[in-house]
Amino acid sequence: MTITDSPTPETAVSSAPSDDMAGSGAFSPTQLVRAVPDALRKFTPRDQARNPVMFVVYLGAIVTTVLAVAEPSWFSWAIAFWLWFTSLFANLAEAVAEGRGKAQAASLRKVKQDTTARRLGAGDEITEISGADLVIGDRIVVEAGEVIAGDGDVVEGIATVDESAITGESAPVIRESGGDRCAVTGGTVVLSDRIVVKIATSPGESFVDRMIALVEGASRKKTPNEIALDILLASLTVIFLLAVVAVGPLQQYAGSTPDPVKLIALLVCLIPTTIGALLSSIGIAGMDRLVQRNVLAMSGRAVEAAGDIDTLLMDKTGTITFGNRRATALVHAPGVPIDEIARAACRSSLGDDTPEGRSIIDLCRDRYGIDVESVRPAPGSATIVPFTAQTRMSGLDIPEEGDLAIRKGAADAAIRWAREGRTPVDDAVTAAVDEIAAGGGTPLVVADRVGDAPVRILGVIALSDVVKPGIAERFAQLRAMGIRTVMVTGDNPRTAAAIAAEAGVDDFISEATPEDKLALIKTEQSGGRLVAMTGDGTNDAPALAQADVGLAMNTGTSAAKEAGNMVDLDSDPTKLIDVVAIGKQLLITRGALTTFSLANDLAKYFAILPALFSGIYPQLDDLNVMRLHSAASAITSAVIFNALIIIALIPLSLKGVRYRPSSASKLLGRNLAVYGVGGVVSPFIGIWLIDLVVRFLPGMG
């Protein structure tokens, strides 16, 4: 195993979601123009039938056009013209949203290229093959300047990698074996050193392939909420269709001849065309907002679930704290010289490829003068004992030195090992552990044992970590949303309590194992709560798969990325907070526009119903509160407004309704006030203004 002292870059703190959330995905009128050809291509019965509400408008436009050809009039042609425009604007909303994904997919296709891979065979023989011929389990060698031929995990070496083609970040990242920063993506470029990559995906199923399919919308399926809303809108459409069908006989009974063009116009204005036209674009835009933040959602269900999250599980290291814990001090046990614990700490970390392990070697060499090469066992004479979530210790076994075993690890695990070896623990050691933990640091106890002799506790290593600035404010925002935050850490209870208090989380779990995470998620879900969590390691995979929203880090293992339903290309675990805000914004946008659409119908009743029946029942003219010019101008104005309001709301459906952290009741009240009242008032004004213009057109007298 190669030991390196290369530094690991710190995790950046993402900006807090606030007012900027509404501005994500800037909209420009040119997008409408570019999307027109795609919108026109959607005028097929198969495409239209996917949306029951707009399919009724589509059929109405066809029938009205046929009637206008059979009995031409300015009125019938005007209604037919605007019904076609209503369908076009609905297609345009979806086409604009899909167009963004196609632009993203076009840039991703440039990443895909037919590369030559150097595959390692038996006896480390290297064979050059096409990247398309790689299969799961193949090991390939990639050196500086070469393109990584497929997705996989680094199993040997360390290198800087250019991932700008995927993440958009120009700064190179470090990928290394033996940790949670081992995953690499096909199409990225190695800038330095040499790594061996174990392929984890089959051709055509790479991360880039899945990204292209997802951002294009090819694999976007309707979420449960969308399906439920579709059923509601379809039911309302059927109800209004039956009501309009009944209007014809009523008119005949009253001695008036029904006009099918007017009845079609009435039906189109009564059914919820606004939300029916925008529903698909809202869902696509929600996924697009995640893509803009370099988060890839594997399904719309995941985005929607993020908006309903009740409990948020977050790792301490790298999420709440910077995660680059470094050894800052050694505390020797009574009677143990400082250089002896320094030598033991250094030796116990020789097989530890983690940043913490390398920092211990740095500390022992730089501060305590340990010659690293002089304490390194001869090749083949020592066995590396890796860290596991169960033992929570690591170290070396050196049979040639009297069966010497050196261990470092979590204080409780090392002390338990000592007590099992019949060794009492000095109060000075436990005092040092408590002092480091109380200060928010992580104590690692160093111990050794020769043969069957009792275990000796040599001292304590102090690892220091720093809580990210602004993280407490972000947790306060989540609390305002009604979300409970839980910090999960392998640290001892005192360290965990100190970090939890500083960060402001609602609860914490210390000395957590992967089984503990999974059990907590299941417990929360059994109480009817939705759970989100982040993870990057293979041991996080079961919990990521169990969580309703599992955000896997792009730097993490392939197993973690396969288990989660979202992948953060920037590998910033705090971005889960942004994901929750985007999910809530999606739900709020859908609810707000549904409210606006249903409220719109009220003004249309006052426009069309008096126009249809005031000639038969003069008293109904009192409902003509807008004092519209004539029956023809009133119906035409209502149909025109019905079409224009769709195009006016496309920017809002793409950007999303502005979201501010607040309780559900306050959000509901605000949206009812703005979009409920606005939906009632705006049509009265809009239809009245349109009537002032159309009354001068032929046939509107």
Residues noted as catalytic: 315
**Count of CA atoms in the C-beta half-sphere (13 A) of 171:** 7
* Bridge-based pairing state of the strands 152-162 and 189-190: antiparallel
* 691 close to 700: Cβ distance less than 8 angstroms: no
20 annotated to a ligand binding site: no
Q: Is the dihedral of CA 464, 470, 475, 479 positive or negative?
A: positive
66: Cβ contacts below 8 Å, ≥ 6 apart: none
Q: How many residues does the chain have?
A: 701
The response to whether 391 counts as a known ligand-binding position is yes
Residue 352 assigned to a binding site: yes
CB atoms within 10 A of CB 699: 15
3-state secondary structure of 179: coil
Rounded to whole angstroms, the Cα distance separating 358 from 349 reads 7
Spatial contact of 579 and 548, defined as CB atoms under 8 Å apart: no
Tokens of 150: 């497929």
Distance CA 282, CA 109 (A): 25
**Contacts for 626 with CB less than 8 Å, ≥ 6 apart:** 603, 606, 607, 634, 684, 687, 688, 691
- Look at strands 194-199 and 152-162 and give their pairing: antiparallel
State yes or no: 479 annotated in a binding site.
Answer: no
DSSP label at 445?
E
Q: Is 319 annotated as a binding residue?
A: no
Spatial CB neighbours of 519, under 8 Å, sequence gap ≥ 6: none
**Residue 367 annotated as lining a ligand binding site:** no
Q: In degrees rounded to 5, what are phi and psi of residue 509? A: -125, 120
Residue 4 is labelled as binding a ligand? no
Q: C-alpha angle with apex 642: 636 to 643, nearest 5 degrees?
A: 95
Find out whether 259 is annotated in a ligand binding site.
no
506 is in an annotated binding site: no
* Distance (Å, whole) CA 443 – CA 431: 11
- Calculate the alpha carbon distances from 395 to 181, 242, 407, 687 in Å: 21, 77, 4, 78
Pairing of strands 194-199, 393-398: unpaired
Does 540 show up as a binding residue in the annotation?
Answer: yes
519 is in an annotated binding site: no
684 beta partners: none
The stretches of 552-621 forming alpha helices (DSSP H) are 558-563, 575-613
Q: Is residue 604 part of an annotated ligand binding site?
A: no
Tell me: is residue 393 an annotated ligand-binding position. Answer: yes
Listed in sequence order, the residues at least 6 apart from 6 whose beta carbon sits closer than 8 Å to its beta carbon are 158, 174, 176, 358
Q: Tell me the C-alpha distance between 571 and 9, whole Å.
A: 12
User: Would you give the DSSP letter of residue 403?
Assistant: S
Beta-carbon neighbour count of residue 156 at 10 Å? 17
| Binding site residue list for ATP | 352, 356, 387-394, 408
| Binding site residue list | 352, 356, 387-394, 408, 536, 540
| Binding site residue list for Mg(2+) | 536, 540
